[in-house]
Amino acid sequence: VLQTIAGFDRIGEENAFAVLARAGALAAGGMDVINLGIGQPDFPTPPNIVEAAIKALRDGHHGYTPATGLPALREAVAADLDRRLGAQVDPDRVLVVPGGKVTMFAAILMFGEPGAEILYPDPGFPIYRSMIEFTGATPVPVPIREENGFAVSAEETLSLITSRTRLLILNSPANPCGGVTPRGEIETLVAGLAEHPHVAVMSDEIYDQLLYDGEEHVSLLTFPEIRDRLILLNGWSKTYAMTGWRLGYSVWPDGLYDKARKLAVNAWSCVNAPAQYAAIEALTGPQDAVAAMVAEFDARRRLVVEGLNALPGVTCATPKGAFYAFPNIRETGWKAKPLASELLEKAGVATIGGPDFGILGEGYIRLSYANSRENISRALDRMEEFLAG
Ligand code: PLP
């Protein structure tokens, strides 16, 4: 048996992909499966973006680009951050990467090693913990509590920082809970971080445009006092319905950018060229498709929350961002993972058990409402029938 490094005995997974595969297998076997499992928009990528990629191919953009990304794309990212968030970013600190996930991979790899502690949200995106464990660092969960509106508590987060803390991972709007951390909490956190200059921050803002009820996105980029240690994670997957294009970007501070660039040269050389041209069009072209998608997500959000709250034993807080509902299912008498599994196998509704997002996920399941209103209604009917039986 070949001996690999210990990290591969610890590396985890994203169970949403296993559920996607199982749902596909059940569907192939003839079952009518409604997929509320995987977190990806059900909309096609807007046609102007698709056309830009086709044009790039026709125009002969078939070779390597700079490892950091096309200059025009990095400039478009900086202009977009300025326009939307009022954040001033040097295009030479923008790195175009093959998917939002790659930024967390790079950032955690940069700070994780045995003895280091890395703070991450729980419940949260499962890859944070998986990657932390891969590096041998100690994962320190930052509780994301329903009673706190699924927002980050600055006070609790700061209380978990020690001299060994190397990296703090933040995510708002959040997966899987749909929480949005309010400005006041972020301000308190940033102020408190002044006392911990040894802690880098990775802010995962991939859902920054998927907000409802007039919520504002407060980007960590707009706090100059932490810019020298802030890594921003963002991308096109969710906002522009481009999950399969594998495209994202990060903003790195001066001291880290060149390290990230070298990692890019070693690992992926550059992001595929036509996708980068498509990304320029996404940022500089008309934005009405984004507004239309957000409006539709909003309607589905209301539908799913209302439907879930009508189910026996289920209560669902209203998510403020992203496209997930995270209902509390404790009173149904079910544990979360068996419930998610049975809902798929018996009722043909794919969801994800809360424990797949962390220790505090027990008692919850995650439903992605990136599916049609018709399918959401059918799924709710099936869940009602299942829970009644
Ligand atoms: N960050 C969060 C919080 C996510 O939920 C996801 C995808 O589900 C990502 C990052 C990764 O996005 P990408 O598909 O661009 O790698």
Interface ipTM: 0.99
Q: Computed over its alpha carbons, how large is the radius of gyration of the chain?
A: 21
Does residue 74 contact residue 91 with C-beta atoms inside 8 Å? yes
For ligand 1, whether the C-beta of 204 sits within 6 Å is: yes
For ligand 1, whether the C-beta of 208 sits within 6 Å is: no
Strand pairing class (165-171; 138-143): unpaired
pLDDT at 123 over 90: yes
pTM, to two decimals: 0.97
Where are the chain's structural domains? 7-45+288-388, 63-284
**Ligand 1 atom index nearest CA of 246:** 15
Instruction: Report, as an integer, the average pLDDT of 234-254.
Output: 97
Distance between CA atoms of residues 122 and 109, nearest Å: 20
Distance between CA atoms of residues 322 and 304, nearest Å: 14
Our CA dihedral for 21, 326, 232, 83, rounded to 10 degrees, sits at 110
For ligand 1, whether the C-beta of 157 sits within 6 Å is: no
Instruction: Report, as an integer, the average pLDDT of 95-104.
Output: 97
Bridge-partner residues for 169, per DSSP?
202
Task: State whether CATH 3.30.930.10 applies to domain 7-45+288-388.
Answer: no
Instruction: Report, as an integer, the average pLDDT of 253-281.
Output: 97
pLDDT at 16 over 90: no
For ligand 1, whether the C-beta of 100 sits within 6 Å is: yes
Bridge-partner residues for 171, per DSSP?
204
> Secondary structure of 53-120 in the HEC alphabet?
HHHHHHCCCCCCCCCCCCHHHHHHHHHHHHHHHCCCCCHHHEEEECCHHHHHHHHHHHHCCCCCEEEE
**Ligand 1 atom index nearest CA of 204:** 1
pLDDT at 389 over 90: no
**Average per-residue pLDDT for the chain:** 97
pLDDT tens-digit map of 153-197: 999 999 999 999 999 999 999 999 999 999 999 999 999 999 999
- Please, which residues have CB within 8 angstroms of residue 101's CB and are 6 or more apart in sequence? 127, 248
Q: Which ranges in 227-372 belong to alpha helices (H)?
A: 254-267, 273-284, 288-309, 336-347
Q: How far is CA 191 from CA 158, 220, 275, in A?
A: 10, 12, 38
Instruction: Report, as an integer, the average pLDDT of 139-160.
Output: 97
Query: Considering only the top CATH level, what class is 63-284?
Result: alpha beta
How close is the Cα of 227 to the center of ligand 1, in Å? Answer: 22
Q: What pLDDT is recorded for position 1?
A: 86
